Structure 1
Amino acid sequence: MKNKIIFFLFSFLFFLETKAQCAMCRAVLESEEGKGTAEGINDGIVYLMVIPYILVFGTIFFVYKKYKSTKS
């Protein structure tokens, strides 16, 4: 169980690069001269994707912690 938790934390927290764009956004941004806008769009998409995961895992963590303390 401990190995699974470590694996999920490692894979969730230590991603190096993500490419998260829909096909239409990619086509529009690749035709542009400056790549700053494309990087900004990628960062925004990743930011919007990560927030729900943090909220769900935080809730699960606190419920587990509460369950563990009442069980003892």
Structure 2
Amino acid sequence: MKRKILILLILLLMLTFDAEAQCAMCRAVLESEASQSAAKGINDGIMYLMIFPYLLMAGVGYMIWRSRKKSRTE
């Protein structure tokens, strides 16, 4: 049962969806230009930078889980 929940959570994390990650000031400046390529690039960059804290938290959580599992078996 726990394995199914873990697989479901991983699949939910892998879903992609559009998100707006710009602050109000950045959005106001970038919407004023004719082509939206700079706005899309900045939004993609912000989303890219948001991934790393979650990866670090997942790595720390995995290491804690692995050490607790290892200590239980001993």
Instruction: Give the TM-score taking structure 1 as reference length.
Output: 0.82
Query: Among the aligned pairs, what percent are the same residue?
Result: 40
Q: How many residues align?
A: 72
CA apart distance, 1:3? 4.7
Q: Which runs of 4+ in 1 moved over 6 A?
A: none
Which residue matches 1:31?
32
Ranges in structure 2 where 5+ consecutive residues have no aligned partner: none
Name the CA distance, whole Å, in 1 between partners of 2:24 and 2:56: 28
Which residue matches 1:55?
56
Name the CA distance, whole Å, in 1 between partners of 2:40 and 2:26: 12
Alignment of 1:1-72 (within 5 A): 1-72=2-73
Name the CA distance, whole Å, in 1 between partners of 2:50 and 2:28: 21
Structure showing greater Rg: 2
Ranges in structure 1 where 5+ consecutive residues have no aligned partner: none
